[in-house]
Every structure is written in C-alpha cells, then in structure tokens.
Amino acid sequence: MTEQLNNKLLETIILSADDKLADDIVALDVHELTPLSDYFVVMSGNNERQVQAIVANIEEDVEKAGFDIRGIEGRDGNRWILMDCYDVIVHVFLYSERDYYNLEKMWVDAPLVDLTDWIK
C-alpha cells in the first residue's frame, strides 16, 4: 500500500475511534521496526460495551472507505480486540488490559504519530 493510502487508512481509523470516544489513542510508526505493519494504533474503552462499539465503528468506516480488514481477534472476550488492517494493526483495550500488556512500552523505539489534526 502506498504511503498516501496508509495515511488515509490511519486517518479513517483514528477518526472512527474518536467518534466512539475511545480514550488515549496512540499511533506508533513501526515500519522500521517490524515487517508486520507500518502502524500500530492503541486505544482504550471504559467497558466491554464501549470496546465493542469502537471496534464495530472502525470496521464499518474502514470498509466504507474501501479498505479491507484481514481479521479481527478477541471479540469473544471484549477485553483486548486486535484488528488486522494489513498495514495498520489496531489494538482496542479495556483500561486494565492495556495497563497489563503495556504495548507502548514494548514498542518504545517506535516514533509517535501526531494525531492532533484528527482527534477532537
């Protein structure tokens, strides 16, 4: 995927998550650290229902924008849901799970993406 398309996909995901009031949205630029993806997006929901709503909204908006989702894992538990959007991997956590796994610390060498233009 081209950089322009990656940025459009990332923007779609961020706007969609923000629309459902996801908290502490962080995007990490991991393209130089792993061949798996260009970006990891990490966010939190206050409860399982909000986590599901965030995921459903992202899924709908990504598909409306013409992008594919390779897979979604963790829907059964609703505590950590991973969405594989090819060049963007999305992690939607309950707060307690996010603190426990602390992905941002694992990827501390990844630069943060400036999201100020997209988050309300």
- Residues 60-105: pLDDT tens digits? 999 999 999 999 999 888 899 999 999 999 999 998 899 898 888 8
Q: Decide if pLDDT at 24 tops 70.
A: yes
Between CA 10 and CA 58 the distance in angstroms is: 11
Q: How many CB atoms lie within 10 A of CB 63?
A: 12
β pairing state of 39-45 and 23-29 = antiparallel
Any bridge partners for residue 81, and if so which? 92
Chain centroid to CA 71 = 13
Domains and CATH numbers, the chain: 3-106 (3.30.460.10)
- Residue 31, CB half-sphere, CA atoms under 13 Å: how many? 14
- The stretch 4-30 carries a mean pLDDT of 94
Q: pTM score, two decimals?
A: 0.93
- Residue 63, CB half-sphere, CA atoms under 13 Å: how many? 10
Closest CA to 5 of 115, 109, 72, 85: 85
Host H or E run for residue 91: strand 88-94
pLDDT of 37: 93
